[in-house]
Structure formats: structure tokens, C-alpha cells
A = this chain, B = another copy of it.
Amino acid sequence: MTEAEFLEGYDPNQFPQVAITVDLALIGVVDAKLCAILQQRSEHPFKGAYALPGGFVGESESIDEAANRILSAKARLDRVWLEQLYTFGDPGRDPRMRIITVAHYALLPADRLLEVCEGADDLLLAPIRTGRSEEGEERACAIASDGSALKLAFDHDAIVDTAISRLRGKLDYAPIAFSLLPREFTLRELQEVHEAIVDRTLAKPAFRRRMIDTGWIAPTGKLETGASFRPAELYTFTPKAGE
């Protein structure tokens, strides 16, 4: 039997019914705090609860394409860091049926996050509490306006936690913080973003030096405006070849 003949007689319906989704952790730093976009569910299951934005992977669409499609439905696409995170597929994670989700995370600048949430009634920009190693597991979770932990739909709490861990892990060796800032930024703003991510203060001179000799940034010669003190120089992200 040739491979062509084999495929001719192949019956896909022998497999149990499963579906594939993509869920997005849209992360940013607003007001010196890590935040994520949550969407209130208008339909069952988990109607009324908050979840990460997501959607089903189309029949002839790659997983990357699906992630980009869902992302562009929320935010304009330029200067966005989008990366596959982890795949969650426990049998009971969705009460409808077996649904495997390929979680991604995307990094957006603060203005984009605010703009996105401004426009849509069902979207919430929730701060992330990053459980500072207080006994037991260190888990990141979204917090509600009253300060309590916000229990997300499905297993999306685990996705948020995984996204924060990945973000922290990559911060030092990948140029990802720049996706969270406007095109031009001061070293102070860059440091504030880093501090929000690692959740501790950093030494200013060491941070300056370290950033400058990564080669990731270049001074523009321009100064920030609107400050009530000495304005700092504006820098831009200068990606190396291949990034």
C-alpha cells in the first residue's frame, strides 16, 4: 500500500472529539504595576467570570496565526512581543468538552493597554499580585478592585502565573522590556518597568550601566518634556539583527 492509498482510506473520526483554543495573557506595566487584560465572559460556561481573551484555532490556520488574529482583534499589532507560553490540556479544564489551549503571552505598552480597555465594556485592566515568596508557592494572580484575589475562569490563573514567571525569567537576557514602553523612553521609565516586573527596587547606577552596554538602546539626543525637574534623555530600542 502506498502512502497515498493509506491516506485515501484514513478515517479521522476514529478519534475522540477535542478542540484547540489559544488564550492570550496580555501583559503590561501601568502606573508602575504589572497588569493584565481580562475579559468578562458573556456566555456559559463561567458566565460573568473574568477570563483571558482567547478563541478557537481555525480549521486551516496555524497556531501562530490564530494567536496573531486574536491579538490583532484586541490591539494594533506593531511593536508587540507575542510568544507561545505553555499548553494546558487537563481533561476537566473546560466543562463543555476536551479543550486543549495553547497559552501565549503578549507584551504591550501602557498606553495601548489603556486604549484597548477604554474602548470595550467587557474588558478589565487588572493588576497582578506576584506573591512575594511568603511561605509556600509563589503564585501570581490578578487582583480585583477591592484588593482580593480574582479567581479566573477555567485554569487561567495558572496561565497568568506561568506568563509572569516567563516574563521574569527572560527579562535579563532578552530585550522584552522595550515592548512595554513607548518608542522613546527615559532610563528611569525603563527601570520602573524592570522594577515592576521583578517586584523590587534596583540600584540606579548599576542598572544604567547594565542597560547601556547591552547595546539594546541608543540615545536620541532629545529630552523628555513635561517633567517638573531636570528632564532625562530619551532613548530608543535598537534591536540587533534577527530580533
Contacts and interface: CB of A to CB of B under 8 A. Distances in A.
Interface of A: 1-3, 6-7, 10, 12-13, 15-20, 43-47, 56-57, 59-63, 84, 86-91, 95-98, 100, 102
B19 A61 contact: no
Contacts of A59: 16, 91, 98
What 4 A-B pairs come out closest when comparing CB atoms? A6-B44, A12-B97, A63-B89, A16-B59
Contact of A95 (B3, B43, B45, B91): B3
A57 B89 contact: yes
A102 B86 CA distance: 9
Given A12-B96, A89-B57, A44 B7 contact: yes
A20 B100 contact: yes
Copies in the complex: 2
Given A3-B46, A3-B47, A59-B98, 15 more contacts: A7-B44, A7-B45, A12-B17, A12-B96, A15-B19, A17-B17, A18-B20, A57-B89, A59-B91, A60-B91, A62-B90, A63-B90, A63-B100, A87-B87, A87-B102
Nearest to A90: B62
24 contacts: A2-B44, A3-B45, A3-B46, A6-B44, A7-B45, A7-B95, A10-B96, A12-B96, A13-B17, A15-B17, A15-B19, A18-B18, A20-B20, A59-B91, A60-B91, A62-B91, A63-B87, A63-B89, A63-B90, A84-B87, A87-B87, A87-B102, A89-B102, A100-B102
A141 to B, nearest CB: 20
A148 to B, nearest CB: 23
Nearest to A1: B44
